[in-house]
Amino acid sequence: MYEDILVPTDGSAGASAALDEAIELATQFDATVHSLYVVDVASVGTEVGTVDLVESFEQMGEDATEAAATRARDAGVEATGSVAAGSPHREILDYADDHGIDLVVMGTHGRTGLERYLLGSVTEKVVRTADVPVLTVRADEGEGEEESDAEDTEEAGE
């Protein structure tokens, strides 16, 4: 049913939760997981030093997508990692078209993670315009935060 699953990642806890879900699905369907990071060119700007900044975002993207692919492969799933540059939702949709993606799995929120919005802006645009189904995954509260252990200990005292 699903052969190629795209997991756009910005290195956030939301993207990480989406990856876990995508790996589960890929295991069931014997699918390939595609990890994609988009360097958000508009957010980088046009000032002096932009080239260095784009390069460091590219490096971060390569690390994040390679880590995601490794996590999938360790779970016995075929995986690829790629980095693109441009407007994140555009690049995500283009990648999906170009690679025969049949499902997109992404976080409800990302690095900004403003929970007062139902969905982050990248996810909202992808959900609105993608030709294929989009599965959104919410990160556990506290996931990726240092305090999560302390919270667990507090609750255990009940």
Q: What single-letter DSSP state applies at residue 110?
A: -
Residue 122, SS3?
A: helix
Which ranges of 34-108 does DSSP label H, i.e. alpha helix?
Answer: 41-44, 50-74, 88-98
Nearer to ligand ATP, 8 or 81 (CB): 8
How far apart are alpha carbons 106 and 42 in whole angstroms? 21
Query: What string marks each residue from 86 to 125 as x (binds Mn ion by CB under 5 A) or -?
Result: ------------------------x-x-------------
Least distance from C-beta 154 to ligand ATP, angstroms? 26
Residue nearest to ligand ATP (CB): 120
Cβ pair 23, 101 in contact under 8 A: no
Q: Which of 141, 119, 153, 114 is nearest to 17 (CA)?
A: 141
Q: Which of residues 14-73 bind ligand ATP (CB under 6 A)?
A: 14-15, 18, 36-38, 40
Residues forming contacts to ligand ATP in the complex (CB under 6 A) are 8-10, 12, 14-15, 18, 36-38, 40, 88, 106-107, 109-114, 120-123
